[in-house]
Every structure is written in structure tokens, then in C-alpha cells.
Copies of this chain bind each other. A is one copy, B any other.
């Protein structure tokens, strides 16, 4: 595509600026007066609603129920699990006043709700008959971060957090993997974002977890994004929170827990994986508007035809709008490209004469002519599927290009400096070697994978025996 929307920075010139330009120009979000908190505007929120709808159905289909916990956490409750409080305390914002009175105990704005769920479970669970508990909540959370960026990192953001309790470690571990796979499926099939999955190192795992599984995505610029996580807690929370159940042998036992979550950060991933120099590119499965019909003439006939097509598409459940505003066709094209609408239908007097419409796809800009005697609904549905698939394949091909195998640390340095991406390298398992990567533009382990072939038998750093194949990357 030659034409470039001049109202936004080019992706190649300044990726960070390009990103925030799209966020604001496509009206996904606006900055607010509250540092680090954004206003999610209608288009951004509609994407979030589609994400919620898709994920929530997958959660419910696997037996999970939604609940709502209080947002405020008494300081004493947050302190019950030592690693957990150590990990989160520096980022907690505190309520100290209610009305005109100072509170006796300060209350934290939830950064995550493990301790609230644990406190609830400790009073609710008595017997193995009460298990499993498979709960999830959709809510706002707070992390008092210094550096923030819309959707990527905010002092307040929206997310879901699942918290489950099981009779056996086996069931809990199965749950941890089940939810990881749900996230992977959702990213790949709904968001058209290929991901790698694996286990976090000890250093990178969730504060308080036994282990953390993660979904990692690669953005267009080769920077990686931790996109969803699923934690196995074992009894690390159930012991300090005194959650106990009478097991099948009539003995009291601490149950086994998991938690898992993903957030509005997914919207950042959509933008940074699929967007281009003309704006947002939304995968059809989560695009609030899938088709925009643009009549390119003011004739009544053309306009009537546009609305006739609108009704046909809407009746078939394809979310469609007509844009017959006063603005020039070119201006309207640019606007809907900015907004990421997957298909534009162009309709002019000559098309009407020839009894046809033009379908322009957002992902490749390719146009095709469809005779009106054809079944437009079918044509559009086929094209939407094709766009969804192509977006995934394009991202996957790019990931393959940006994934490197290294056996020397200086190769990693060269790559991360010049053409960052995922680096696959062998690791001995020692934190000292893991920290060596950090000196290279802050590169961190993304995850340990055990379903890929080792590429060497020695650790890339210390040259001692390698234990794991690890994906490394620079992270957001």
C-alpha cells in the first residue's frame, strides 16, 4: 500500500509513538487527568466486550462460575503470604480515609485478589464435597507503576482472574494447564496472535506461586509481551490462609490451588501485532464492526442499495454500518482503515449499473468485485474467515523470521541490538546465567519450553550442562 495516513507516525520511524497515535486516533482510549489511568473509549471497550464474551464462554464451558470480591484489601490480610506481599506491596495504593475519618487499618486497592479468595475459601470449604471451587472474576485492578502506557501498563486496568481450589495436586495442575491452553486457543483463534507457551523461571514466576505457566507473544517490533499467565500454587496459600477440607480418608488436608489471568493488555497486543501505518487492523472475530458500507455517490439509488445491503448483512448477524456522511470517499476510507474495520464495501453508480460491489479488505488492501446476484452474505463471511486466517499466518511467519537459535551470548547481543525477537538458547538453570542476559538491553527469560528439541547440550552462558531450552526476549 503506497498511501500512508499522514495523521500518524510511521511504524518504522518511531514504534512507541506510532502505538500511542493509533490508540488515540482510532479512539481506543484517551488520556485522563489521573496519571497512569486511561479512559477506554467506545471502540476500545467494544473490543474488550468481544474479548470478554469469547473468553467468558470458554471459562463457563469448562465449569467456571463468576463472582465478585471486594476491591479493598485490609493490610493485615495482604501480609499473610510472605512472598506474595513482598512481590506486590511496593505497587499497592492505599485508602487511609473514609469520609472525614482516618481509617483504623489502611486498605489496599487490589493488585490481584488471591488473598481475598483465600480468605473466602477458608470459611466456605469444609469437605471434599465442596471441591473443586472454580471461580473467576472480571474487575479492575491497581498497580502503582511509575512508567505507564495505554493498555500496556497502567495504574488501573481491567482484567479477569480465575481462582480455583482442588482436592488433589493432580487436579490443580491439570487446571493450570487447561487454562493456559484456553488462553493459547483464544489468542490464536480469536486474536489471530500466534503465541509460545511454557513455564516461567523461578525468578520470573508469580509472587507466591509454586510455578507459573505463561503465554508469550511477539509484537511487530520484535519486543515480547507476557500476555496471560496460569499459576499453580500447590498448598502455598492454603496453609497460611488455613483453608482445610475433610478428605475422603476423613482427615483434614490443605487443598491445592491455581490462579490465572489476562487483561486489557490483550488490546495492546492486537494493536502491536496487527496494526500498520494506516491504523488499527482488527481480527474479524473480535472487531465490533466487521463491515462498513461506503456509498461513493449521493444518489438516492446508491444510498438505498447501501441500506438494502446493510439489512441483508445485519440479518445474517454480521455487524455492519453504512457511512454515508458528507465527507469525501477517500476521507471515509482512511477513517475506517484507521479504525481497523476488516471489510469495506464500496458502492458507486457505476457499480450499480454493473450490478456489483467492491470488497476491500483491511489486512492486505486487496479489492475484489462481487456481482450482486452472488450471495453477498456468503462472500463476506468467506472473506472474514480468510482475513482472520491471513492475519494469523502473517504474524506467524513474522514470528518465525524473528525467532533465532543462539549458542553464544554475543550472538544474542547482536540480535537484540539490531533485530530483536525471540532467542532460543540452552540454560543451566542458574540465576547467575539468567542475569547475564539482562545486561543485553534488559533481555529476560520468557519461558522454559519442554516440547521443542534442545539445540545444544551446554548452557549458553557458563557452558556447563544445559537443563532447559528457554525463549528469551526484551519485554514490555
The docked-state distance in angstroms from the alpha carbon of A70 to that of B156 is 7
Give the docked Cα–Cα distance between A68 and B138 (Å): 13
B70 touches A38 (CB 8 A): yes
Q: Can you name 22 A-B residue pairings with CB atoms under 8 Å?
A: A30-B120, A32-B69, A32-B119, A34-B74, A34-B107, A37-B72, A38-B70, A39-B68, A39-B116, A40-B67, A45-B65, A45-B66, A46-B66, A48-B68, A71-B140, A93-B98, A95-B95, A95-B96, A96-B96, A97-B106, A99-B144, A139-B140
Residue from B72, B97, B124 within 8 A of A34 (CB atoms) = B72
Docked-complex contact A70 and B37, CB < 8 angstroms? yes
Q: Does A246 contact B (CB under 8 A)?
A: no
B42 touches A116 (CB 8 A): no
Q: Which of B32, B40, B41, B69 contacts A39 (CB 8 A)?
A: B69
What residues of chain B lie closer than 8 Å to A120, measured between beta carbons? 30, 32, 39
Render A81-102 as a binary contact track against B, CB cut-off 8 A, 1 for contact.
0000000011111111111100
Q: A34-B107, A71-B156, A95-B94 are in contact. Are A65 and B46 (CB under 8 A)?
A: yes
A residues with CB within 8 A of B: 30, 32-34, 37-42, 45-46, 48-49, 65-74, 77, 89-100, 106-107, 109, 116, 119-120, 123-124, 135, 139-140, 144, 155-156, 158
Contact A65 B42 (CB under 8 A): yes
Question: For A41, what are the chain B residues with a Cβ–Cβ distance below 8 Å?
Answer: 67
CB contacts (< 8 Å) of A98 on chain B: these are 93-94, 144, 155
Report whether B33 and A77 are in contact in the complex, using a CB–CB cutoff of 8 Å. Answer: yes
